[in-house]
Amino acid sequence: MKRLVIAALLVAALSGCTNSDIAREQLRQESEDNCGVMRTVTAYSSTGEQIGQWHGKIDVQYVGGESYAERVDVVVFDGATPVDRIISGATVVVDND
C-alpha cells in the first residue's frame, strides 16, 4: 500500500515534465531505494589526468552553486561497508551502466 501511495505521488509530481525529467527522477528514486545504481565514476584533474575511478553500486550527489557542482559526493556500496568519497576541484564523469 505504501508503495502505491508513493507511486501515485510521484506520478502527480511529474505531471507536465519532459521524458528526460521523468527518467532522471526514476533513476534518482531507484538509487535511493537500492543504495545506488550500477555506475562508473571517473575523476580527472584540470590537466586531464585521471585521478580516480570507482565502479559498482554508487549513489551520487551534486553539491554546489547554481550553474555547476562545487563538489560531488560519491558513495560506493561495494561489500559490507560503504565507501564515501568527496570530489572537489576535478572534472567528474558519471556513466550509468
In this predicted model, what pLDDT tens digit does every residue of 31-66 receive, in sequence order? 676 677 888 999 999 899 999 999 988 888 888 876
What is the pLDDT, as a whole number, of residue 12? 57
Same domain, 16 and 47: no
For residues 48 and 22, state if they share a domain.
no
% pLDDT > 90, the chain: 14
Q: What percent of the chain has pLDDT over 70?
A: 70
Q: Which residue's entry shows cell 565514476?
A: 41
Say yes or no: 19 and 45 in one domain. no
> Are 41 and 28 in the same domain?
no
Whether residues 20 and 58 fall in one domain: no
What are the grid coordinates assigned to 39, written together?
555506475
Q: Rounded distance, CA 93 to CA 41, Å?
A: 6
Classify residue 78 as exposed, middle or buried by CB count within 10 Å of its CB (0-12, 13-18, 19+): middle
- Residue 67 shares a structural domain with residue 25: no
| pTM score, whole prediction | 0.65
Q: Are residues 20 and 45 in the same domain?
A: no
Domain housing 11? 1-33
Count how many domains the chain has: 2
Question: Are 45 and 26 found together in one domain?
Answer: no
Please tell me whether residues 62 and 22 are part of one structural domain.
Answer: no
On whether both 57 and 23 belong to a single domain, the answer is: no
